[in-house]
Amino acid sequence: MVTVSIHNLTFTYPQQSRPVLNAVNASFPAGQFSLITGVSGGGKSTLLKLIAGLLPTDAPGITFNDRSLTEVPATQRSKTVAMLFQEPSTQFTMDTVANELQFALENQQVPADEIPERLTAALDFIGITALRDRKLMHLSGGEQQKVALAIIVAMDSAVILLDEPFASIDPTTRLVLLQRLAQLSRERGKTVILADHDLSGYTDYVDRLTVLADGHLTHLSPEATQERLATFAPAKLRLQHVTVPADNQEALIQGTQLSLTANGRTLVTPQNLGLFAHHTTLITGPNGSGKSTLFRSLVKLGHYQGVITYDGTDINRLKRRPYARQVALMFQSAATQFLNVTVDEELTLSLKNSYADHFTPAMVTQLLTELNLADRREQIIYTLSSGQQKKLQLLCMLIMAPDVLLLDEPFKGLDYASLQTVIQILKRVQQDLDLTYILVSHQLSGLDTFIDYHLQLSDQHLTYQGVRA
């Protein structure tokens, strides 16, 4: 069992004048489940990377049972500490799930005859045995996160660091994985340190909550911890204002006998499905059930069976570029959507290609201020935090002003305050430009007054939930 201690740690990124972490002192006890929260871009990922030894620092301020990680031979460090990144796909090297786990264990120099048993046990522990031979790049974002977590389990490190591990995980699976992490700390003595913005589900599992703000860490008392977690109680995550579309309501996007398959798996059986103009529709469902596949089909980037029409015309008869001006997709991974180097360059490109003259330079500056990005205009996009990238991505997509905007996990990596700001901006732009939003999100906190319709994907079928208007 290992206690992680931080002593007077200060860290400043190159070409930045203000430290991200300023004289931080903290201790994460052995065998406990510690949760870190704080604003987007506040330094949580930086802190975890420093603990993992993934960022260069001259400070000797991080110790594992009073021993610096630099004193541990490089080949042995993964047995001491392992980290799961915000974007798990960036950690993958091999083609299949099994090969990726085997590769990780081989790098740890685990004896060859022990690898099959540890690999199987890790997949079973996370509940993804069925994914064993699947191609990693064919998995959903949530499935990839579960694979990355299985790799961490297989490595059997004493300290486990997790950066937003549930950002693309459905609520049911989230609770199962929380139970597994608590089991690792309480039954196997692992020191678990996890950073998250969405605090739902942690009440029964976390030993201590720590807040990172203005470069400083503060450990909350048990009473303050429960008060903070109560904000994310299940009752506050329910969608109580959604309605079912009227039977005679005309759909803007209509699927007729629409069905979806992927890699030999049936995701959606043939059904008629309508999506409605000038409303906000939320689609939920288990990881890997086909939500992102549906989005790709709606923008002509994926295969489907049946017919999809937009405003009464089969989308296969519409040319790709004009159709993209009407229906656009915001990707789940923000970094894959950017085309430039700096924030300002990306914004300039979006303004140049905007389908509306609504967004003036002054308005863009105001929105950047609201999103706490005003001082980041010259910054390289890929040095932004995950939450900051997501806010920039969303702003760029809104500037483009398509009639229909498909949003795949648009709130990933956002703290609660940023989430509320983003929702207010989405509402204003929707009202000003009469836009239609269709989104996939596993995070439900704060969405109740934003969502008009709720489509649930379950048992290969999409069904509207709520009270009929």
Percent of the chain with pLDDT over 90: 57
- Rounded to the nearest integer, the mean pLDDT of the chain is 90
Query: Strands 81-84 and 159-163, how do they pair?
Result: parallel
Specify whether 227 is located in the same domain as 259. no
Specify whether 224 is located in the same domain as 250. no
Three-class secondary structure of residue 372 per DSSP: coil
Domain of residue 248, residue span: 243-468
Does residue 275 surpass a pLDDT of 60?
A: yes
CA-based angle 76:80:81, to the nearest 5? Answer: 115
Which of 176, 201, 231 marks a domain boundary? 231
Residue 12 forms part of a structural domain: yes
pLDDT of residue 69: 80
Alpha-carbon distance 195 to 395, whole Å?
Answer: 25
Known catalytic membership, residue 106? no
The catalytic position among 143, 164, 346, 409 is 164
Which pLDDT band holds residue 16 (cuts at 50, 70, 90)?
confident
Which pLDDT band holds residue 114 (cuts at 50, 70, 90)?
very high
pLDDT of residue 236: 66
Segment 410-430 shows an average pLDDT of: 92
Which pLDDT band holds residue 247 (cuts at 50, 70, 90)?
confident
Which of 231, 266, 298 marks a domain boundary? 231
Which of 231, 264, 299 marks a domain boundary? 231
Alpha-carbon distance 120 to 127, whole Å?
Answer: 10
Residue 236 forms part of a structural domain: no
Specify whether 140 is located in the same domain as 27. yes
Give the type of residue at 345: E
Specify whether 155 is located in the same domain as 256. no
Segment 92-111 shows an average pLDDT of: 92
pLDDT of residue 468: 54
Three-class secondary structure of residue 250 per DSSP: coil
Alpha-carbon distance 180 to 162, whole Å?
Answer: 13
**Higher pLDDT pick, 247 / 428:** 428
Q: Do 29 and 3 touch, CB atoms closer than 8 A?
A: yes
Alpha-carbon distance 48 to 84, whole Å?
Answer: 10
pLDDT of residue 91: 81
Q: Do 22 and 46 touch, CB atoms closer than 8 A?
A: no
Domain count, the chain: 2
